[in-house]
Amino acid sequence: MANPRLRSLLWWRKWAKKDWAIAAVGFTIFISALNFLFDSRTNDLDISTAEDLVDLTLLQNAKDRGAFCLDGSSPGYHFQEGFGSGSRNWLLHIEGGGWCNTIESCLHRKTTPLGSSKYMQRQIPFAGLMSRNPSQNPDFFNWNKVYIRYCDGASFAGHTESELKNVTNLYFSGQLIWESVMDELLSIGLSNANQALLSGCSAGGLATLIHCDNFRDLMPKDATVKCLADAGFFLDEKDILGNYTMRSFYHDVVHLQGVSKSLPKDCTSRMDSSKCLFPQEIIKGIRTPLFLVNPAYDYWQIQHILVPDGSDAHGHWQKCRMNLQYCNPSQIEKLQDFRSSLLNALSDFQQNKEGGMFINSCFIHCQTWMANTWHSPTSPKINNKTIAEAVGDWYFNRRVVNEVDCPYPCNPTCYNMEFA
């Protein structure tokens, strides 16, 4: 029987097997993650109080702009006003939740919170980097905070020219959603920001990379503006059968939803636009200071890029891809190679004096929006620094931050997922 501490995630695993194109860390996991346990440190888990619940706001200008979720409903965000010294500082976080690469998967997705605001929770808790508790979030607790809901299926980069409204009632307007959200936030105070940080998790982390420079361009010239991508550095790597599964998948996403127009022109002019959706290409042209938080053993990437469903016909990897404790020596060697590929892809970025990174050796995915992985006495650490401390040191230029962990299983502070 599966670990009962993770029953809240089992539906997601089944969904991924049905169609992994729409599986990832989405809103439902965001909520349930506050209630399941990573490991034996159960009693330390932070559960948000009612005061942390933040209401959903639907975009007022969505209809006029043609900015719709996949099903045609209005996109939304959750806004919590800053106070004190943070009243003119802004932290925006883009929700994650995978992508849809076929008409079928997009049709399914539009019946979920990741494709329609009709199914979104009207209140969500703000924790981790979104918390206003100074002990949980020492550097950003009193900032204005916005959690941008994800309902387009292409990391806020789809274009209406590719829409299939007449045939399937699908709206591909991710780019317009991004622009409309920015317009509305600028009108309520973002245009007067002194400091701003754009962040995102998973597919939201990829969206952060895609829109980072545009975000900088929208801010006042004298504002301090930076970007943070959490678990958004997806690798263009072969799976265990030697196939480029992720490359093929991104190719379908890009061409179905017309994503290429949102990708760096210097990249799309040199190579197939689907390759330009990979972060290792996007970051080459980003001008804005950027910080990358990524586990070297990202469970989503291991389960969908390295060992995707269908690549392990005999089930040799089944236990390993769900829990690293069950990996044999040859599988561990493959995982170490995957880690090396990540570090190789980041080798040039490490020389970026304005950039920063926190690459820990944990079997997890997003780590910034939960107190226990962002900043707590038992949070994952590298060189005795939590992710929150590393990000804060980088953002405020307190020190150079290039934290790269030793290989698994060296770090006892890790929260490691156990799916089986």
Question: Bigger pLDDT: 419 or 263?
Answer: 263
Catalytic site positions:
202, 298, 365
Overall average pLDDT of the 333-342 stretch: 98
The dihedral through the CA atoms of 344, 348, 349, 350 has a sign that is positive
- High-pLDDT (> 90) share of the chain, %: 83
The tens digit of pLDDT for each residue in 309-335 reads: 999 999 999 999 999 999 999 999 999
Residue 371 has pLDDT above 70, yes or no: yes
Mean pLDDT of 361-365: 97
Does 168 score more than 60 pLDDT? yes
From CA 106, how far away is CA 70, in angstroms rounded? 7
Per-residue model confidence (pLDDT) at position 19? 44
Bridge partners of 104?
Answer: none
Topology annotation, domain 4-404: Rossmann fold (3.40.50)
Checking if the pLDDT of 141 tops 60, the result is yes
- Please state, in angstroms and as integers, the Cα–Cα distance from residue 398 to each residue in 215, 222, 392, following that order: 23, 19, 8
Q: What is the mean pLDDT of residues 92-118?
A: 97
* Least confident window among 153-157, 298-302, 368-372, 400-404: 368-372
For residue 121, pLDDT over 50 is answered with yes
- The reported pTM is 0.90
Is the confidence at residue 217, as pLDDT, over 50? yes
pLDDT digits (tens, 9 = 90+) for 4-28: 333 333 333 333 434 434 344 343 3
Mean pLDDT value of segment 141-166:
90
In this model, does residue 216 exceed pLDDT 60? yes
- Where exactly are the structural domains of the chain? 4-404
Can you give the pLDDT at residue 45? Answer: 38
